[in-house]
Amino acid sequence: MNSLLRRVPSYSIISNNSLRKLCSTDAPDFNMENPFEKDKQQCILCKQNIQVDYKNVRLLSQFQSPYTGRIYGKHITGLCAKQQDKLEKEIVKAQSAGLMATYLKEPVFLQDPELFDVEKPLRPHRF
Amino acid sequence: MIHYELMLLLRVMPKTELKTVLKRTANMIFEKGGIIRKLENLGTRDMPYKTSVHGVVYNKASYFLYEFNVPPTSIDQLLDEYGRDIDIIRRRIYKKIEPEQFECTLDDELKPPPYRKDVLALVEQSKKGDKPKFKYNTGLDYYPFQK
Ligand SMILES: [Zn+2]
């Protein structure tokens, strides 16, 4: 049996892949990355590289409801988890320090541009 | 040393009086062996909500920001002393936040649940509680006999 194997000519043992390469030179390279992949999405604070700070009340109040003063959720603001977490902490700090209103958005900030559409949350909410 | 920020809301008063109050509050930091890095006047304005302290209701305040270094053990003493000062309406001490760079994870969060990393971790965790399954060790990926 061993001697039989040895007699098999070496050129007949060609792997399937190399055979394909021999047949055609312009075979598609299947190891390439997905050419149709979309660009990575980034939240507005990461994209503009904004550091959230409790003294920047004008920015913080844009994430606050004008009716109740509550902070909008992640599914409405469209921020990543880390930025949303930081934002909520800074808002609490600002409200505690007497810089920011708690039960309403201050009337001076009511005309500020909207960063997101409140009516179109990413997932439905219970209100 | 840790960088702290002190937010002071002072009662509205004439300039000469304000000067003595600021000097007094700054001296309290120096007495604790601290260093003041910055003193900023953020202006006088209506407060977002009224505050009643020391038996008076205030609607307006002068905002001041101190940036300073002080031993962490003396923060409580500072807050206590400021709380007893009748010219101070409100005081808060926070650590100064350092700007940090991190990767935005929004793209991963917007994927459907079975593709999200945190959901996959949960699935993996739930598998840990499963009962052990008997292995036949036949080297086959199916059961060779009738069941
Ligand atoms: Zn982000």
Instruction: Please report the ipTM that was assigned to this predicted complex.
Output: 0.81
pLDDT at A1: 46
> What's the pLDDT tens digit per position in B68-110?
999 999 999 999 999 999 999 999 999 998 888 888 888 888 8
> What's the pLDDT tens digit per position in B11-21?
999 999 999 99
pLDDT confidence band for A35 (50 / 70 / 90): confident
> Is-above-0.90 flag for pTM?
no
The 10 Å Cβ neighbour count of residue A87 is 20
Domain B2-95 classification at class level = alpha beta
Q: Is B129 within 8 Å of B36 (Cβ atoms)?
A: no
CA distance A21 to B136: 43
Q: Where are the domains of chain B?
A: 2-95
Tell me whether B106 touches chain A (CB under 8 Å).
yes
pLDDT at A20: 61
Q: Answer yes or no: do B105 and A82 touch at CB < 8 A.
A: yes
Over 80: is that where the pLDDT of B23 sits? Answer: yes
CA distance B14 to A40: 55
CA distance B59 to B46: 6
**Residue linked to tokens 């199916």:** B142
At residue B95, what are phi and psi to the nearest 5 degrees? -75, 145
Q: Among the listed ranges A30-34, A74-78, B88-92, which one has the minimum average pLDDT value?
A: A30-34
Going by C-alpha positions, the residue among B29, B33, B99 that lies closest to residue B64 is: B29
Token pair listed for B74: 């003396």
**In order of start, what are the domains of chain A with their CATH numbers?**
46-111 (4.10.640.10)
Tell me whether B49 touches chain A (CB under 8 Å).
yes
**Residue linked to tokens 């040895």:** A6
